[in-house]
Amino acid sequence: MSDAEIRIERLTGALGAEVQGIDLSRSLSNAQVDAIHRAFLDNQVIFFRDQSITPEDHLRFARLFGELDIHPFAAGLDDHPEIMPVVKEAEDHVSINFGGTWHSDVSFYEKPALGSVLYAIEVPDAGGDTMFANMYLAYEALSDGLKDTLDGLQAVHSASRSFGLNSRATRRSKEGGDVSMTVNPSEEAENEVVHPVIRTHPETGRKLLFVNYNFTQRFVGWTAEESAPLLKFLWDHAARPEFTCRFRWRKGSVAFWDNRCTQHLALNDYHGSRREMHRVTICGDKPV
């Protein structure tokens, strides 16, 4: 397809757009990459339908936007460790699915992800949607007083809640039904990093809320108990319906989201059906 055939269709007022006229199995022109990048920045998460891509295609596309990450606690494909299979088997009835709470990918890194590219290999007939939330809007909707409180405040992030020895990953295994993924809880998940609560996006210059349920533990200089009420308010606030979009997957769909200014949630409403996605994560920079 020619560059002129690229179409951007907004999905909601909050965020999200479908990009039409792109075949991700082919090398893209500079103009196509520029159009995708602009749609990505403008809409925070973009979607491509009816794609048929190989692992090599997947990696080639993601590398257009940066270096690729290898997850420290969840196994990648044997031949392509940068590609993490996110799988739930039909017989897997665990109540806690992978990615099943609102989060920003790997914010427990010193340099959290720029974004992720998720490809649908197999999806249920119904269910298994992914929700996304716009952290620009979450910040902008705060009162001036709370913005003043949060500006300059820092928060501690770690992977302990998700991948520590007493984490959800451990509980998933203890439920006896987790047959889907290789996740390795580790003491290393207890390591902590510090990020600003209000982050400025490095490309758009816009301010956004940068705390999430999975990985934000407490505010710097506050105890966990003191932090809990305000963090809970911010987590609930970030997921307000008017800040979100909901994407219904089909086989061959691709989502590319900006991890710096969004959060996402994988819904766990398809017990008895199989779902397999392949995720590639693009390395980012230190939040400021």
Domain spans of the chain, in order of start: 70-247+257-282
Percent of all residues in the chain with a pLDDT value above 90, rounded to a whole number? 85
Q: What is the pLDDT of residue 166?
A: 72
Is 171 an active-site residue?
Answer: no
Radius of gyration of the chain (CA): 18
Q: Which of 168, 201, 264, 278 is catalytic?
A: 264
Q: Which two tokens stand for residue 277?
A: 């996605």
Give 12's contacts (C-beta < 8 A, 6+ positions apart): 244, 245
Q: Rounded to the nearest 5 degrees, what angle is found at the Cα of 84, between the Cα atoms of 217 and 284?
A: 55
Query: What is the pLDDT confidence band of residue 174, given thresholds at 50, 70 and 90?
Result: low
The pTM of this model reads 0.94
Residue range 152-170, pLDDT digits in tens: 999 999 999 888 877 655 5
- Report the alpha-carbon distance of residue 200 to residue 31 in Å, rounded: 27
Q: What is the pLDDT of residue 186?
A: 83
Residue range 207-229, pLDDT digits in tens: 999 999 999 999 999 999 999 99
Q: Which of 58, 80, 103, 172 is catalytic?
A: 103
- Mean per-residue pLDDT, 87-106: 88
Residue range 219-278, pLDDT digits in tens: 999 999 999 999 999 999 999 999 999 999 999 999 999 999 999 999 999 999 999 999
Return contacts of 230-236, CB within 8 angstroms, 24+ apart. 231/155, 234/138, 234/209, 235/102, 235/211
Task: Decide: helix, strand or coil at residue 280.
Answer: strand
Q: What is the chain's mean pLDDT, rounded?
A: 93
- Report the alpha-carbon distance of residue 7 to residue 28 in Å, rounded: 15
Q: What is the pLDDT of residue 1?
A: 42
Q: Which of 105, 168, 258, 278 is catalytic?
A: 105
Q: What is the pLDDT of residue 167?
A: 60
46-84: b (≥16 Cβ within 10 Å) or e: bbbeebebeeebbbbbbeebeebbebebbebeeebebbb
Is 105 an active-site residue?
Answer: yes
Q: Which two tokens stand for residue 210?
A: 């940068």
Query: What is the pLDDT confidence band of residue 30, given thresholds at 50, 70 and 90?
Result: very high
Residue range 175-208, pLDDT digits in tens: 544 457 788 788 888 999 999 999 999 999 999 9
Instruction: State yes or no: pLDDT of 63 exceeds 70.
Output: yes
In sequence order, the β-bridge partners of residue 175 are none
Is 80 an active-site residue?
Answer: no
Is 60 an active-site residue?
Answer: no
The CB density around residue 176, as the number of other CB atoms within 10 Å, is 9
Q: What is the pLDDT of residue 169?
A: 54
Q: What is the pLDDT of residue 177?
A: 47
Q: Which of 168, 195, 218, 279 is catalytic?
A: 279
Helices (H), the chain: 30-43, 55-63, 135-140, 144-150, 160-163, 168-174, 224-238
Distance of CA 153 to the CA centre of its chain: 23
Q: What is the pLDDT of residue 257?
A: 98
Residues 2 and 26 sit within 8 Å (Cβ to Cβ): no
The CATH classification number of 70-247+257-282 equals 3.60.130.10
Q: How many residues does the chain have?
A: 288
Percent of all residues in the chain with a pLDDT value above 70, rounded to a whole number? 94
